[in-house]
Structure 1
């Protein structure tokens, strides 16, 4: 049975945030709101939860996973980045961007692109995300709550509860989200930013 927590989107209740972080620590899979759409999340090393996420979204083995981070203080642990790229990240986080970088050995191989060894890094601009990351104490493996047969990601909390009931351990109902996913920017090739997907983050701020 999926637990539902109603958490205030602007002033998250610490007791409820603690409950959600406990589910992550116990290896659970959660659905939660972000500054773009709803997302699915679990601990970085939780293989069983990751496998459930993969089944829900019907992902193939080339899917690019992303780490949800509170800020850039953990960046060097999980990704390789040079100074110009770091300045770009710093200028556009938190925000509706996912940056693709070379992963380090700290990232489980199953989370990285199998050939490119890349990982997404995302710093969300959402109080629930930031409170959850602070309570959990480390990045969260995250993926958009975009069901395989749907045109758009989940954005209505009632839909999140209905479609993911008994598939995730917890749903954080933080109200409505948007329908536009993050803008994805690759910084892998060393030739400046490359747009992989145009989304909620403004491109004219990148170039």
Structure 2
């Protein structure tokens, strides 16, 4: 079955449509959605088959993934990670925002994601759609960037073109308007040095 293309208001997401997407996620669906940076592909963090499906779509092994967790706020952080007081204070200032914090994972990280890295990426995007999805779902969703094969354009920004590309690989594509083409700034927060691993849309120096 081809994916469903669903338009959702990026400022005030319609509750009925959010419930429809969450039902898909709970049923093991894979969904493409907008964030405050680029479009992401994701699923319920607890659905092993859906996580493995995303890895196949991206052509990577699950254990060598670049997945992050999208959270509604910082309340789920302690469920899956261990962060210092300094890190928590920084995250509280910088999030929601265009940052991915790499932190130490704990024993509650789903087994399908277990790797020798023992770290997880935490995202709280400043975008109403993914946050509404996570809030209604009740737990984080796994996310990975939707990349383009074009050598010049790294990320796909047009939801219509994204739908054409992934129509037969995912279950839903959310049209929340044009996405960005700059990824999140990635910060290694496994210790309190807060090293920028990848420069992206966010400027973490504003919060240090």
Root mean square deviation, CA, Å:
1.5
**Which residue in the other structure is 1:93 paired with?**
95
Shift of 1:35: 0.5
Aligned counterpart in structure 2 of residue 80 of structure 1, from 79, 82, 95: 82
After TM superposition, list the pairs within 5 Å mapping 1:167-206 onto structure 2.
167-188=169-190, 190-206=191-207
- Whole-Å separation in 1 of the counterparts to 2:38 and 2:66: 17
Matches within 5 A, 1:1-207: 1-60=2-61, 61-112=63-114, 114-147=115-148, 151-188=153-190, 190-207=191-208
Secondary structure in 2 matching 1:131:
helix
Q: Aligned pairs, how many?
A: 205
Question: 51-60 vs 120-129, which deviates more?
Answer: 51-60
Q: Secondary structure at the match of 2:46?
A: coil
CA distance in 1, matches of 2:197, 2:65: 13
Contact kept, 8 Å, 1:5 with 1:171, in 2: the verdict is yes
TM-score by length of 2: 0.93
8 Å Cα contact 1:99-1:184 kept in structure 2: yes
Segments of structure 1 that go 5 or more residues without pairing to the other structure are none
* In 2, Cα distance between equivalents of 1:64 and 1:163: 21
Task: Tell me how far apart the structure 2 counterparts of residues 108 and 147 of structure 1 sit (CA, whole Å).
Answer: 28
3-state SS of paired residue (1:54): helix
Is this contact kept in 2: 1:102–1:118, CA < 8 A? yes
User: Does the Cα contact within 8 Å between 1:56 and 1:147 map onto a contact in 2?
Assistant: no
- List alignment gaps of at least 5 residues for structure 2: none
| TM-score, with structure 1 as normaliser | 0.94
**2-side partners of 1:153 and 1:4: how far apart?**
19
Any conservation in 1 of the 2:93–2:207 contact (CA below 8 Å)? no
Q: Give the distance between the partners of 2:49 and 2:92, measured in 1 at CA.
A: 33
Q: Secondary structure at the match of 2:64?
A: coil
